[in-house]
Structure 1
Amino acid sequence: MTAPTDRFQLRNPWHFLALGFGSGLAPKAPGTFGTVAAIPVYLLLAPLPLWAYLLAVVAVCVAGVWICDIAAHDVGVHDHPAIVWDEIAGYLITMIAVPLGLVWVVAGFVLFRFFDILKPWPIRWLDRHVHGGLGIMVDDILAGVFALVVLHALVWLVG
């Protein structure tokens, strides 16, 4: 059984970020709600030049290792379902250099959730064998890469 979410403190900046601005506290499907919380972040970053978007994504991923590690340590549960910063990072990876538009935002969302939930090899292996903040982040980073490849194939096919 997972530890209760009442150990998280939204006024703690590490917890606030790890919880995806509070979205991870959703009682059902916190990972999905965390990915929904990533959409406005993406929309804020999407107009940036590609180099700046990539720099922001790298910063989100690197910071995420510490953010997730601190939050998991504070509540005493590795990869607590309410920790969804990794979903935000994964979705931002999915959307690298994708045309801005509702269809692509939704397609990226669906593809990222698909790979994050299904966890094909080696995502599942990494999820089970890498621990700490890196372990929390790495499976979603790779799910984002898988979704990115498929999404770019769709962009290429459609247009």
Structure 2
Amino acid sequence: MKSRLERARKMNEAMKTLIDKEPSEVQQKLTQIERVREKLLIENKDLQEELKLREDSLFDQDDELEKRNAELAKLKRTLEQLKSELEENKAELSKVKTQDAGSYSSKLSAQIADNEKLREELSEKVRGLGGRSECISAYLVDVQLKAFFAYILRNGVSSK
């Protein structure tokens, strides 16, 4: 309450001093005050427009960031899904390799057994042929020599 009374007294004193001064001086001061007020209003308007533009820009940037974050979250989920699929595929591949290794091992063992059986049969047949193999070997050597000489006769001997 006291502060209100004091303010009212000060206002009254200011009004008295204004009234006591010359009217031209008061008019001049009022004109100056009005000019300053107009300048301040124009500045305020410009600042408010600039503030509005900045707010709009910030909202646009915020929207863009939200979109990017949503895209990043989507890509992250996709990446996680791909990682889990990759891990599953690795596990399946390891399982298949283990199964195939056992399968290949048994197939290889069977093939080796077949080869041993064929070798034994071949050895028996070669033993059964006995002397015939020597005759066949001599015959093959003779055929090879004849083919060699025929080649030389056809193409001639070249000295290199």
What TM-score, normalized to structure 2?
Answer: 0.18
Question: Per chain length, whose mean CA-contact separation is higher, i.e. which structure has more relative contact order (CA < 8 Å, sep 6+)?
Answer: 1
Choose between structure 1 and 2: higher helix proportion: 2
Instruction: Please identify the structure whose Cα radius of gyration is greater.
Output: 2
